[in-house]
Structures are given as C-alpha cells and as structure tokens.
Amino acid sequence: MSQAFIHLENVGVVYPNGHHALEGVTADLSPGTICGLVGVNGAGKSTLFKSIMGFITPTSGKVEITGLPVKQALKKNMVSYVPQTEEVDWNFPVLVEDVVMMGRYGYMNFLRRPSQADKKAVDEALQRVGMQDYRKRQIGELSGGQKKRVFVARALAQGGKIILLDEPFTGVDIKTEDSLIALFRILAEEGRLMLVSTHNLGSVPGFCDTVMMVNKTLLAYGPVETTFTQDNLAAAFGGMLRHHQLMGDELHDDPDARGVTVLTDDERPLVLYGEQGGQKIVRTKETAGEGIGRHD
Amino acid sequence: MMELIHEYLLEPLSYDFMQRALLISLLIGIVCSVFSCFLILKGWSLMGDAVSHAILPGLAAAYVIGLPLLVGAFAAGLFCALSTGYLKNNSRVREDAVMGIVFSAMFALGLVMMTRIESDVHLLHVLFGNVLGISSSDLWQAGSIAAICSAIMLLKRRDLALYCFDPAHAAVIGVPVKVYHFGLLVLLALTVVSALKAAGIILVIAMLIAPGAIGFMVTRSFDRMLMVAVSASVFSCLGGTILSFHLDAATAPLIVVIQAILFLLALVIGKRTSHSRKGEHGSGTAATAG
Amino acid sequence: MIEYLLEPFAYEYMVKAIWVSALVGGVCAFLSCYMILKGWSLMGDALAHSIVPGVAFAYLLALPYAIGAFFAGILAAGGMAFVKQKTKLREDAVIGLVFTTFFAIGLVLVSINPMAVNIQAIILGNILAISDQDVQQVIIISLVVLSVLLLKWKDFLAVFFDEGHARSIGLPTSFLKIVFFTLLSAATVAALQTVGACLVIAMVVTPGATAYLLTDRFGVMVWIAITIGTLSSALGAYLSYFLNTNPGGFIVLIETALFLSAFLFAPKYGLISQKRAVNKHREAL
C-alpha cells in the first residue's frame, strides 16, 4: 500500500482559554477510502478538521499530509474542504461556475485570472457532479443536494487528493443522500481520501470503509466492520443516543439468544443484530417516500 | 436645452473649488463603493461605523503632535479595529457591544480633546465634511489614498471576495487569511480617512453601505455588483456635489439622500430580477439532483 | 478645598445638568442590560441617528422635540422592517442604510433652513444649556420608561432569553418587543439631550457590558448597571465643570474607564483572573 495520506501522530489541541479539545490522536488514513469521523458535538471533530486544514496548529504532536507538513501540503492544493450548509452565505452574489472556479485560485497568478486550463477543469468538475446545466445559477437558487454538489465540484476542480466533508447530509433528503453517497464512493475509488464528519450513524456502515470515533481523544479507528461496535459507540456517545434493544423473547419464539439493538440520534438508525457482545451491523436501507420526517 | 446644460452642469465647473470638489467626489465615490461591496458581504456595517467615528481623537492628537492629520486618523481607526478584536477575544462580551464601547469611547475622547485644544480643525467640518471647501493639498493627499486603495481592491477583488465568501476554502488553498483580514481593516481605515474631508466621519458610513447594497439588489455575480455599485456611487457623488452648489445645501447629506433614492429604485427593479430567487425553494425541490 | 469642590452646586444649571444626566444614565443603563445580551448595539446607534430629522423638524415647527423624535423613530423602524422584508441584505446593512439615510435627510433639512436648529446641540448634546421644557420632557420619559421596566423586567427577560417559551406561557411576545423598542426610542430621545446622537450608543451599551463582566445573575446585573450609569453620568457632568469640557464626552469616558477596569480586574471574568486560571490549569497537567 502506498504512503498514508493523512498521518496523525499524538495530536493534541489545547485552546488559549485552557479548553482541552483533543488529546493523543494517532492514526494513518489511506488513499482510496472513505473515512467516517463520528462523535458528539464538542467531541473534537471540527478541531481535528481544523488541524488538518492548518487553521490551528496542534499544541502537541504533528499532522502530516502525504509526508509533508500541513502548510506545504496546502500550497500544493492537496486538501479540499466542503463546508457545512449553514456555514455558507447563500445570498452571496456568485454563480455556480464562480464557486467552482474558486477551486482553481490556488493555481492562478496574483490577479487570479483564469486560464484555458482552469476553465476546462471547471467544466469537467461540473460535468462530474452533473451540475453543468446549472452553471449560471446563483448559488441560493439551488436545492440542498445541488448545493452540496457544487462544493464537491469545487473540490474536484481544485484537484485535491484529500476531500474533507463537514456534515454533508444535514438538510438533504434520503434520495439525495444516497446519490451523494454514490458520488463519494466513485471519487474514493479513484484514489482520493474522503474524510466525512457525520453524526448520522446509520449511514456510516453504508458508505464508509473506515471510521474514527472521537470523544476528546481517538477512541477507536479501523475498518467499519470491526470498529463500529456497540461498545465503541457507547464510549463515543455515552448516553447521548436513543437506544432500543429487542432481546430473545421479544424477537424470537425459540430460545435464540440473539437480539436487535437500534441506536439512533433521530437520523438514520444503526441496527445491530446478534448475540450480546457479538452483534453485527445490519445495513439499513431507507427508501424515500415513506414519509419519514427528518429534521435538519 | 443647451442652455440648461450650460447653466446646471458647466457653470459650476468654471469655479476652481467646484473642480476640486467634483474630482474628490469622483475618487471617493469610487473607493467607497468598491469597499462597500466587501463590507456588505462580510457583514461589517457596524465595523465601518465604528472605525469612522473612532478617527476623531486621532485627528486631535495628530494636530497636537504636529503630524499630518491623515496619519493620526488612520492610526486611530486601526487602533479601534484592533482593540475591538483584542477585547472580544479576551472577554465574554459580544463583538457588537465591544465595538460600540470602543468607538463611542474614542469619539468621546476626541470630543473632549477637541474642546480642550485650540485648533484650526473645525469640528463640524470633521463631522459632516466640507467638500466645497477642499484645498488642493487636501485633494492631492486624499485623492491619492483613494486611488491607491481602489486599485488594490480592484486588482485583488477575486481573493477578497473569496475571503468574504468562504474563508475556510481560502485557507485551504493557501491564501493567507489573517493577512487578508488585517488588510481589509487597513483598507477600511484608509478609505474612511480619504473620505474624511469630503463626507465627514458620520456620513462616510452611508457611502460605505449604500452602493454595495444597490449592487447586491440588482445583480447575481460579484463583478457586476461592483460595476453597479461604482456607477451608482459615482453618479450620486457627482450629482450631489452639483446639486448642493445650486441648492446651497450641505453636500455630503445630499449625496447620501441621492444614494438612498437609487437604492429605492434598485428595490423596485431588483424585485424583478429577484423573482427567480424568490422561487428558490420551488425550483430547487423540483430539480433535485439525482 | 471643599468650597472649590462644592462650587458647581452654586450654579443652578450645573445642579440641573448633574441630576438630569444621572436620571438619563440610570434609565439607559437599565436598557443596556438587554441590549448587550441580544447583540443590538447597532440598533441603539441607529435609533439615535434616525431621530435627528424628527428633532430638527420639531424645533423648526416649535413642537416638543420628543414628538418629532418619536415619529422619526417609528418611521425609521418601519423603514428597516420594510427593507428587511423586501431584500436579502444582511440585517446590519439594512440598519446602517436606513439610519444614515434618515440622518442625512435631517442634515439636508437643517442645512437648507439653518435658522432655529442648533445641529451641534443635537449631535453632541447640550445638557449645560438644557431648557426647562426639555427637562420636563426628560423627566416624564425617564419615569415612564423606568416604571414600565421595573414592572415588567422579568417579562422582557423571558421574551429575550427564549421567545418560544415566553409564547408558550402566554406572554404577548410581539407586543412586549414593540414596547421594548418604544422604551428604547424614548430613552434615546432623552439621552440625546445629555450626550448627543453620536454617544447615545455608549449609554445603552457600556454599563450593561460592564455589569455583565461582574455577575452571572440578571437581577444583580441590572442593579450594577444602573449604579454605574447613574453615578458615572452624575460624576461626568460634575467634573466637566472643572475641566471645562463637553460633559457628554466625559460621561462616556468615565463609563469606559469602568468597563476597562472590569475587563482587567473582574473577579471571575476579568483578564487577570482568567489568565491565572489558565496558568493553574497548565501547571496542574
């Protein structure tokens, strides 16, 4: 396997006001994978993102991107960032193509005048995400899923090998979520590393290869199958989740010891099935149009 | 017809002071409108208000020390912006309140200094501007500051717009975000300083908000917003100056009133172009990406 | 020495200036507690500037200035609501746009009719030369605002802290908000007399912010703010006699000095104690 794309070594962050946001995070993230970053609000998800983006310098440990310090990696346009929907000012007077063009700024000269190559990259990126027909729209005129696609296109135009996605599924419907996941899968298979922060637990087994579970420190990191267990989830989320357990009698007429555990924070639920301690993830599939109300 | 043009437009031009006034109005109209596009999008209206009020003690202090007034004004404006940042980061008081405290305190200090110092700086001229009384050295100083600031902002407009729109992305592609933040503050202070003589410190904030708002109303892309803002601003600055000559009314307030009328106009026209925007939810859900 | 210190009290205009300032300072300080928690500083500044054309008009027509100010305030608030509803501009831009326009209209009016109106008095305050009629208006305004606030301060707190909850327990939230802004405009009109349009913002922000650094309880915060507002206003007017300076500016400088002291030395939220706490935390590691 090739070199790790993101190398975290004992990363710790203490804010100037004395708040310990993260401690002792060590992990190597590989290309060609989608990695889910899960944890409660305030667990340090965004702090970890900011460390990778060079917004904050860790107070201890180090972050390396493809073997380079963060600053140098950023200069080489290695990292792209897809912001949360709420972070963006949708009334800003920019068209879809303007936003995607911003992905090319790192390649342009002092005055940021686009070259033919830049224009071509924008065209291709728009094509990839299926937004070429919307290029002259002002960004506020798009639906939730389209808005996400535009920013993914910006990341593609930037040509980054690492794409950070901050809560990409907030405020989009299930059908859109599935189509976004399909897009992310393709992008990962092309050799990118997608790091997706989410509190939507149910979708994690559906599209992530690996998962990082954080709560002030890295609780667990590894393939979803072995890491996304009930014990780790309990450690990551404490009492923060809805927890339904259906055991033996409620489920079976025979003395089967297996039970069903449903974990949810009101998004897509995570369902575990099997004997206590050895439960396996059930890949849930929601279908659109069942009238499931979801909040943003 | 020709007579009317002659009387209303050319006659004022035969006076030296009107030539100077029109030239400085033009330069200030441009620099204020360019900055206003960033100010509107960044949500810095209160910051503009604060910095403009805060330059008063700088003027008084510069007079006492014997520095050029513009240097004192610039230093005070920048001090206001920086101390606001410091107080906000180190206390639990909200940013808007900190800004209000800092600029009102500085304005008060300026007032107290002005009443104590015998100076040839006329308080009312500082507050409301005196574009018809501008000297050629004032014109030279303020004009060159305005021209330089306009040039910088127009050349770097794409980066500045990106910084306003999505600072996180700007940082990720290696744009020095802190430099841009500080740079915008410096540009704000310089813009205010350049407009000081003509617009006065109370009304400069209007010239820093209205053109951008007009541009925002009628366009959907940033470059067009800039063009509309600059045109609207230049029109009202020149128009206001000429009108004030004929009406014998205060110039800066007249400029602001003209801009307000243009804004109302933009509100009417803008409703038409914002029609598609209004339908954002409808058209959005109808065309869900899939 | 004592004679020297008592000298201002020998002049009726000084005595009047001192107690009127104190009254207005206290009223504004009460309001400031709500203002700083809601992030409405710009609103305070905007109202103060917006009412200028109304005051100018009232002077021209020889009406009580409070009436002109009141109408201008309502018009400005209506204008802001209208523009806000019609556009997608940010709120701060809308407020800035409307208040500067009103202010400019006031100035144009004054510049065309430069007779009766002393624009400098409106912008910078004129407490030392306040007329008896104006004093009456200030007293009426202050007493009305104070009594409404004293009776309903908990209701306002409930509305501003959690509007949904306030509505659910049956409070008329929209009505209370309108009442609050009416009180604010009224207090602004009064403050215009003492410190002038440009410094009203200090009166309705600084005392509350200072108190906010000193306590976590709203009731206590109100008392601290009122004490600060009243005392610094009285002191500022009194000291301006000796320093022969603009009393409004001096009042604001005293309030700011108190804020900076709280910023540095407040027992829990002051800079020094916070730094100390961080250091302790670091050492403990």
Alpha carbons within 13 angstroms on the beta-carbon side of residue C106 total 33
Shortest distance between the Cα of A235 and any Cα of chain B, in A, equals 31
User: Would you say residue A236 has pLDDT above 70?
Assistant: yes
The answer to whether the Cβ–Cβ distance between A17 and C88 falls below 8 Å is no
Mutate to test the interface with A, among B160, B277, B288 (most CBs of A within 10 A): B288
Q: Is C270 helix (H, G, I), strand (E, B) or coil?
A: coil
The answer to whether the Cβ–Cβ distance between B40 and C101 falls below 8 Å is no
CA distance C138 to B285: 56
Q: What was the pLDDT predicted at C61?
A: 82
Alpha carbons within 13 angstroms on the beta-carbon side of residue C111 total 20
Determine contact: C282 vs chain A, CB below 8 A.
yes
Domains of chain C: 2-280 (1.10.3470.10)
The answer to whether the Cβ–Cβ distance between A18 and C88 falls below 8 Å is no
Of A81, A94, A176, the CB nearest to B289: A176
Which chain B residue lies closest to A70 (C-alpha atoms)?
B172
Shortest distance between the Cα of B226 and any Cα of chain C, in A, equals 16
Backbone angles phi, psi at A263, to 5 degrees: -115, 130
The answer to whether the Cβ–Cβ distance between B105 and C202 falls below 8 Å is yes
Q: Looking at beta carbons, which residues of chain C come within 8 Å of B53?
A: 198
CA distance A272 to A241: 14
Q: What was the pLDDT predicted at A288?
A: 43
Q: How far is CA C276 from CA B160, B268, C272, in A?
A: 39, 57, 6
Of A18, A91, A140, the CB nearest to C277: A18
Class of residue A265 by CB neighbours under 10 A (exposed 0-12, middle 13-18, buried 19+): middle
Q: Looking at beta carbons, which residues of chain B come within 8 Å of C207?
A: none
Ranges of each domain in chain A: 6-234
Average pLDDT over residues C255-269: 93
Percentage of chain B modeled with pLDDT above 90: 56
pLDDT digits (tens, 9 = 90+) for C162-212: 888 888 888 888 899 889 988 998 999 889 888 888 899 999 999 999 999
Shortest distance between the Cα of A17 and any Cα of chain C, in A, equals 6
User: Would you say residue B281 has pLDDT above 50?
Assistant: no
pLDDT band at C221 (very low <50, low <70, confident <90, very high): very high
The answer to whether the Cβ–Cβ distance between A91 and C88 falls below 8 Å is yes
Shortest distance between the Cα of C95 and any Cα of chain A, in A, equals 18
Mutate to test the interface with B, among A143, A161, A287 (most CBs of B within 10 A): A143
User: How many beta-carbon pairs under 8 angstroms link A with C?
Assistant: 9
CA distance B65 to A159: 55
Q: How far is CA C181 from CA A281, B275, C201, in A?
A: 56, 33, 14
Q: Looking at beta carbons, which residues of chain A come within 8 Å of B174?
A: 71, 74-75, 77, 106
Percentage of chain B modeled with pLDDT above 70: 92
Average pLDDT over residues B34-63: 92
Neighbours of chain C (3+ CB pairs under 8 A): A, B
Q: What was the pLDDT predicted at A36?
A: 93
Task: Output the six-digit token pair for B199.
Answer: 């617009």
User: Would you say residue B115 has pLDDT above 70?
Assistant: yes
User: Would you say residue C44 has pLDDT above 70?
Assistant: yes
pLDDT band at A278 (very low <50, low <70, confident <90, very high): low
Cβ within 8 Å of residue A61, ≥6 positions away: A8, A9, A10, A11, A12, A24, A25, A26
User: Would you say residue B238 has pLDDT above 90?
Assistant: yes
CA distance C92 to B44: 8
Q: Is C127 helix (H, G, I), strand (E, B) or coil?
A: helix
Mean pLDDT of chain B: 87
Q: Are the C-beta atoms of C153 and C208 separated by less than 8 Å?
A: no
Q: Looking at beta carbons, which residues of chain C come within 8 Å of A17?
A: 274, 278
Cβ within 8 Å of residue B19, ≥6 positions away: B13
Q: What was the pLDDT predicted at A289?
A: 41
User: Would you say residue C28 has pLDDT above 50?
Assistant: yes
Of B173, B216, B277, the CB nearest to A105: B173
pLDDT digits (tens, 9 = 90+) for A161-199: 899 999 898 878 888 888 889 999 999 999 999 999 987
pLDDT digits (tens, 9 = 90+) for B161-202: 999 999 889 988 888 888 999 999 999 999 999 998 888 888
Distance of CA C246 to the CA centre of its chain: 17
CA distance A133 to A149: 13
Q: Are the C-beta atoms of A157 and A149 separated by less than 8 Å?
A: no
A259-264 and A242-246 strand pairing: antiparallel
Of A93, A103, A145, the CB nearest to B288: A145
Q: What was the pLDDT predicted at B118?
A: 72
Q: What was the pLDDT predicted at B5?
A: 74
Q: What was the pLDDT predicted at A10?
A: 92
User: Would you say residue A268 has pLDDT above 80?
Assistant: no
User: Would you say residue B286 has pLDDT above 50?
Assistant: no
Residue B135 backbone zone (phi > 0: left; psi -120 to 50: alpha; other: beta):
beta
Q: What was the pLDDT predicted at B4?
A: 75
Q: Looking at beta carbons, which residues of chain A come within 8 Å of B173?
A: 74, 77, 103, 105-106, 158
Q: How far is CA A186 from CA A104, A128, A222, B224, in A?
A: 22, 10, 21, 37
Of B156, B216, B289, the CB nearest to A146: B289
DSSP state of A138: B
List residues of chain A with CB under 8 Å from any CB of chain B.
53-55, 71, 74-75, 77, 79-81, 83, 87-89, 92-95, 98, 102-103, 105-106, 110-112, 129-131, 138, 140-146, 149, 154, 158, 173, 175-176, 179
Strand partners, A81: A164
CA distance B290 to A172: 12
The answer to whether the Cβ–Cβ distance between B90 and C87 falls below 8 Å is no
- If you count them, how many residues does chain C have? 285
Which chain C residue lies closest to B53 (C-alpha atoms)?
C198
pLDDT band at B283 (very low <50, low <70, confident <90, very high): very low
Please provide the CATH number assigned to the domain covering A6-234: 3.40.50.300
Of A89, A106, A176, the CB nearest to B174: A106
Q: Are the C-beta atoms of C8 and C18 separated by less than 8 Å?
A: yes
Higher pLDDT, A235 or B211: B211
User: Would you say residue C115 has pLDDT above 90?
Assistant: no
Q: Looking at beta carbons, which residues of chain A come within 8 Å of C281?
A: 18
Q: Looking at beta carbons, which residues of chain B come within 8 Å of C209?
A: 93, 97-98, 101
pLDDT band at A277 (very low <50, low <70, confident <90, very high): low
Q: How far is CA B74 from CA A64, B196, C94, in A?
A: 42, 11, 27
pLDDT band at B279 (very low <50, low <70, confident <90, very high): very low
Backbone angles phi, psi at C125, to 5 degrees: 80, 160
The answer to whether the Cβ–Cβ distance between C278 and A91 falls below 8 Å is no
Q: Looking at beta carbons, which residues of chain A come within 8 Å of C278?
A: 16-18
A259-264 and A20-29 strand pairing: unpaired
Spell out a b/e string for A155-193, using b for 16 or more CB atoms within 10 Å of the CB, else e: bbbbbbbbbbbbbbbbbbbbbbbbbbbebbeebbeeebb
Q: Looking at beta carbons, which residues of chain A come within 8 Å of B225?
A: 93
Mean pLDDT of chain A: 83
Backbone angles phi, psi at C157, to 5 degrees: -60, -45
Q: What was the pLDDT predicted at B97?
A: 92
Q: What was the pLDDT predicted at A285?
A: 56
Q: What was the pLDDT predicted at B239?
A: 93
Determine contact: B265 vs chain C, CB below 8 A.
no
Determine contact: C261 vs chain B, CB below 8 A.
no
User: Would you say residue A291 has pLDDT above 60?
Assistant: no
pLDDT digits (tens, 9 = 90+) for C46-94: 999 998 888 888 878 888 888 888 889 889 988 998 898 888 888 889 9
pLDDT band at B154 (very low <50, low <70, confident <90, very high): very high
Q: Which of residues 95-134 of C touch B (CB under 8 A)?
A: 95-97, 100-101, 103-108, 110-112, 119-120, 123-124
Q: Which of residues 162-181 of B touch C (CB under 8 A)?
A: none
Q: In what order do the strands lie in the sheet with A33-38?
A: A79-82, A162-166, A193-197, A33-38, A210-214, A218-223
Of C92, C100, C274, the CB nearest to B203: C100
Shortest distance between the Cα of B275 and any Cα of chain A, in A, equals 11
User: Would you say residue B265 has pLDDT above 90?
Assistant: yes
Q: What was the pLDDT predicted at A240?
A: 65
Mutate to test the interface with A, among B44, B173, B179, B180 (most CBs of A within 10 A): B173
Neighbours of chain A (3+ CB pairs under 8 A): B, C
Q: What was the pLDDT predicted at C111?
A: 81
Q: Are the C-beta atoms of C196 and B112 separated by less than 8 Å?
A: no
Q: Is A168 helix (H, G, I), strand (E, B) or coil?
A: coil
Which chain C residue lies closest to B115 (C-alpha atoms)?
C245
Which chain B residue lies closest to A89 (C-alpha atoms)?
B165
Strand partners, A7: A28, A64
DSSP H or E segment with residue A241: none
ipTM: 0.91
The answer to whether the Cβ–Cβ distance between A102 and B162 falls below 8 Å is yes
> Minimal CA–CA distance to C48: which of C92, C89, C100, C3?
C100
CA distance C98 to B64: 36
Q: Looking at beta carbons, which residues of chain B come within 8 Å of C83?
A: 267
